[in-house]
Amino acid sequence: MEFNSEVRPRRELMNPNFEGYKLSLRNVPTEKTELEHPVAVFTTRQSDIAYLTLSLYAQHSLLFVDRWTSALYWFSQPNEETFELVTFNPNTSETSSLLKLPIPDIHALPTIHFPVSNVYFISHGDGSFAVYQGPEKKFCSSILQNEEDQNCKAVLVNDVKIDEEKGVIYVAASFIRGKQAIVVLARFDKDGKFIAADEFKGGAICSFVAISSDFAITFISDKLYRHKCDEKSPEPKKILYKWRQNLNDVVLFFEFDHKVDKSEVNVSVRRNHLEIAIRNVKLEGELFQAVDPDQSSWEISPGGVEVTLEKAVERGWSQVYKDFDFGDEVFNKEFVDQIKGRLGHLTTESAIPEEAEKPGVDCNQYEDIDRETEFERSIFRFKDGDWTHKASLSANLPLFWNFITPTEKAIAMRHDVDACLWSSNSSDKRVPLGHVGTFDAVGYIHAGKQNLAFINAPPNNGYVCICEQKRRILLYKHENLETNLRHRGSGRKVNEIGRQQVVKIDDDEAFLGLQCNDDALYLLTKNSLWRVIPDDVEN
């Protein structure tokens, strides 16, 4: 098992010579499609508002894209009884209703996934899901198999993969159980029958969850996550004798069903060593503290053998042998009272008088070990019942994720001023993620945005779109533009430069979703779908 590893960007994919972005003032073409019915907006109830719940809702998008066909999907609400799954064909700019679902079947966080071509996976938001092939429903099932999770109304499906050779469906999902965040990787057969699941428990909602091509699960969290393989219960302690102590001696008692003969007993006591052999009981090792061999003894008593060890120093023992413990200590009141008497000066029922002047504390006197450290943001990878990787991400802040192929999920994380794109399918088995691209200076740009709603990029990574809460989006594209710009100090001509475009959307409604294709990006509001064409801009 390779557990600890590092996430390092590839030097050949970084561009230290990039200078920045030049603002383009040309208008960007936009197209508006009015929706027949408003988009179904899912919000949490006031009674459910909590940090974990809000973090889970923040991972949910209302606009979905099929990377096999580039078609867009969303849920609309034509009336109070029905939800409608609507699709938009980008080639014909036409919308159509795909299917209707009763409102009780859809809960807070419905999602749509496209694991293979012409197959779509609809999660209802409560753990149940349905798999369709075209318009035909193949089967229904549920991710949540525990009775305690049956009433969960907010389950976010993060990723779905199908092993067509074995006929197994893998589903990764996030939800909340009590005060714990749960990530589950469930497996189903081709007919939807539940096979098994791996469950991970943590203290924070994961910012990224993906299933890789070898069907391992990879996730990123600010808190430690544990699997049941980490919680294996220890084997029960084997008890061979009982023992008691006072300040002067230690007494071991070995119980036997039949009377022990003297010839069956062999006890050897040295200052720091004890060897005992009584019938089938054999113990030998270094003692917890030194004893006086001359004052130690043993005797056969009714029901067993009693060994008395005289302590060399009046001090309490936590066990008899230093390196192992097969004994069960029996406490006696006399010994407890003796210990209380010795420690009584450390406790008192009297009030502590206030000091006239307390010494100050210099923070520079603290050592690193004195500081309270929190768990760092880390990435975890789990496969076949065991952890394969764990890597600290330190200051690598997750920014957004997308699909760079129909089945390959990637995440962009801040690295210094840039944003590095990492694939969940790593060609290097020593690391959990593979560096596949870089968005120049996007980490720096993202850090300065406060009114941000979405950020995304197309599969070809041709540009990055930063979307504000309403009305405005910003596009960043790295193109080595021909400019006459020069550095003010040195006079050197600026060569490595990209283009920034600012697009104003003539709509006062908040943005509910963003999806980027290679040739256009799409913004969803409650009553409209906007198409923006970033490449239709001259230098």
Instruction: Tell me the C-alpha to C-alpha distance, in Å, between residue 203 and each of 181, 227, 335, 375, 386.
Output: 6, 13, 43, 11, 20
- Alpha-carbon distance of 305 to 298, in angstroms, equals 7
Q: Is 70 exceeded by the pLDDT of residue 362?
A: no
- pLDDT at residue 233 in the model: 55
Q: Is 90 exceeded by the pLDDT of residue 113?
A: yes
pLDDT in tens, 146-204: 877 777 878 999 999 999 999 999 999 999 988 889 999 999 998 899 999 999 999 88
- Alpha-carbon distance of 314 to 249, in angstroms, equals 8
Query: Pairing mode, if any, of strands 378-383 and 386-392?
Result: antiparallel
Q: Quick one: DSSP state of residue 259?
A: P
Which pLDDT band, with edges at 50, 70 and 90, does 359 fall under?
Answer: very low
Which pLDDT band, with edges at 50, 70 and 90, does 350 fall under?
Answer: low
- Alpha-carbon distance of 526 to 43, in angstroms, equals 14
Q: Strand 94-102: give its sheet, edge to edge.
A: 64-66, 71-76, 82-89, 94-102
Mean pLDDT score across all residues of the chain: 85
Any idea which fold 241-343 has? Immunoglobulin-like (2.60.40)
Sign of the Cα torsion 179, 184, 189, 192 reads positive
Q: Quick one: DSSP state of residue 190?
A: T
Q: Which of 377, 59, 378, 381 is nearest to 217 (CA)?
A: 381
CB 100 within 8 A of CB 130: no
128-142, 385-399, 471-485, 514-528: range with highest mean pLDDT? 514-528
CB 467 within 8 A of CB 473: yes
* Least confidently predicted of 6-20, 228-242, 358-372, 510-524: 358-372
Query: Pairing mode, if any, of strands 386-392 and 265-270?
Result: unpaired
Beta-bridge mates of residue 297: 308
- pLDDT at residue 178 in the model: 83
What six digits make up the tokens of 471? 């009305």
- Give the 3-state secondary structure of 371-383: CCCCCCCEEEEEE
What six digits make up the tokens of 30? 């936009």
Sequence-separated (6 or more) residues with CB below 8 Å from residue 265: 277, 278, 298, 300, 305
**Ordered DSSP codes for 322-354:** SS---EEE---HHHHHHHHHHHGGG--SSPPPP
* Least confidently predicted of 101-115, 338-352, 391-405, 484-498: 338-352
* Least confidently predicted of 41-55, 334-348, 435-449, 454-468: 334-348
| Cβ count near 530 (within 10 Å) | 20
- Alpha-carbon distance of 531 to 94, in angstroms, equals 12
Query: Pairing mode, if any, of strands 241-245 and 327-329?
Result: parallel
Of 293 and 107, more confident: 293
- pLDDT at residue 538 in the model: 42
- Alpha-carbon distance of 154 to 108, in angstroms, equals 6
pLDDT > 90 in the chain, percent: 50
Delimit the domains of the chain by residue range: 1-34+394-534, 37-205, 241-343
- Alpha-carbon distance of 64 to 112, in angstroms, equals 7
Q: Which of 46, 48, 42, 44 is nearest to 63 (CA)?
A: 42
Q: Which residue has the tokens 């990764």?
A: 172
Beta-bridge mates of residue 392: 378
Sequence-separated (6 or more) residues with CB below 8 Å from residue 250: 243, 244, 291, 308, 309, 311, 317, 320
Q: Is 70 exceeded by the pLDDT of residue 398?
A: yes
Which pLDDT band, with edges at 50, 70 and 90, does 427 fall under?
Answer: confident
- Alpha-carbon distance of 497 to 20, in angstroms, equals 5
Tell me, rounded to whole angstroms, the distance of Cα 369 from its chain centroid.
Answer: 26
Q: Is 70 exceeded by the pLDDT of residue 527?
A: yes
Helix (H) and strand (E) counts for the chain? Answer: 3, 39
- Alpha-carbon distance of 204 to 180, in angstroms, equals 8
**Ordered DSSP codes for 402-471:** EEEETTEEEEEEEETTEEEEEESS-SSTTSSSEEEEEETTHHHHHHT-SSEEEEE--TT---EEEEESSS
- Alpha-carbon distance of 84 to 74, in angstroms, equals 8
Q: Strand 136-142: give its sheet, edge to edge.
A: 111-116, 119-123, 128-133, 136-142
- Alpha-carbon distance of 470 to 452, in angstroms, equals 9
Instruction: Tell me the C-alpha to C-alpha distance, in Å, between residue 257 and each of 239, 298, 305, 329.
Output: 16, 19, 11, 21
- pLDDT at residue 400 in the model: 94
* Least confidently predicted of 61-70, 350-359, 422-431: 350-359
- pLDDT at residue 103 in the model: 81
Helices (H), 119-267: none
pLDDT in tens, 291-342: 999 999 999 988 899 999 999 998 888 899 988 889 998 887 777 777 777 6
CB 60 within 8 A of CB 207: no
- Give the 3-state secondary structure of 39-90: ECCCCCCHHHCCHHHHHHHHCCCCCEEECCCCEEEEEECCCCCEEEEEEEEC
